[in-house]
Amino acid sequence: MDSQLLDLYTNENATLFLVHSNLGFWSATSDEGRSAHDSFTVQLNFPASRPIVLHPAIEFMAIPPVRVFLGLLNIFVWYAANGMNGVAMQQYAGNLRDANMSLPLAVVAALSVTYMQLVAGALLGFFILRVFYAVNLGALLERPWSHWMGFLHAAGSVFTNAGFLYGSASLVQVIKLLEPFQTLLWGRLLGSEDTNSLQYIASMSLVVGGAISLVRSRPNPPHPVAVLSAILSGCTLSLRNVLQRGQVVAAESYDGGSIVQTSVVQFTLLSFYASMWAVALAALLHGLFGILGLDVSVSAWYEHIQPSTIFWHPLYNMTSVTTLAFCSALTHSLLNAGKRIASIILAIVWFREGYSLDTVTGLVVVSIGGCWYTLDRKKGNGTKHKSAPLQESLVKIIAAVAILVLLYILPLAATIFDSMSIPVETPVEG
Full domain range(s) for residue 40? 2-54
Asked if the model's pLDDT at residue 16 lies above 50, the reply is no
| pLDDT tens per residue across span 44-65 | 343 444 444 445 555 555 667 7
* Same domain assignment for residues 47 and 109: no
- Phi then psi for residue 5, to 5 deg, are -90, 125
- Antiparallel, parallel or unpaired: β 2-10 and 39-46: antiparallel
Lowest mean pLDDT among 81-90, 120-129, 308-317, 387-396: 387-396
* Same domain assignment for residues 31 and 48: yes
In terms of DSSP H, where are the helices of 18-146?
A: 56-61, 64-98, 103-133, 137-141
pLDDT at residue number 14: 34
Instruction: Tell which wins on pLDDT, 412 or 340.
Output: 340
Domain membership of residue 365 (yes or no) is no
In terms of DSSP H, where are the helices of 176-258?
A: 179-189, 201-216, 224-255
* Same domain assignment for residues 36 and 183: no
* Same domain assignment for residues 158 and 273: yes
Assess contact for 180 and 206: CB atoms under 8 A.
Answer: no
Domain membership of residue 384 (yes or no) is no
Asked if the model's pLDDT at residue 425 lies above 60, the reply is no
CA distance 307 to 370: 33
Domain membership of residue 153 (yes or no) is yes
pLDDT at residue number 409: 75
pLDDT at residue number 422: 55
pLDDT at residue number 238: 87
| pLDDT tens per residue across span 242-289 | 887 655 544 444 444 566 777 788 889 889 999 999 999 999 988 888
* Same domain assignment for residues 277 and 130: yes
* Last-in-domain residue among 328, 351, 374: 351
What amino acid is encoded at 206 in this protein?
L
Cα atoms found within 13 Å of the Cα of residue 190, Cβ hemisphere only? 16
| pLDDT tens per residue across span 194-251 | 555 667 777 888 888 888 888 877 777 888 999 999 999 999 988 888 887 655 544 4
**Quick one: CA dihedral 4, 64, 330, 234, positive or negative?**
negative
* Same domain assignment for residues 144 and 230: yes
Cα atoms found within 13 Å of the Cα of residue 195, Cβ hemisphere only? 21
Number of other CB atoms surrounding residue 291 within 10 Å: 8
Q: Classify residue 354 as left (phi > 0), alpha (psi -120 to 50) or beta.
A: left
Domain membership of residue 286 (yes or no) is yes
Q: What is the CA radius of gyration of the chain?
A: 25
Whole-prediction pTM:
0.74
* Same domain assignment for residues 68 and 161: yes
* Same domain assignment for residues 40 and 67: no
Angle among Cα 103, 308, 217 to the nearest 5 degrees reads 60
Domain membership of residue 408 (yes or no) is no
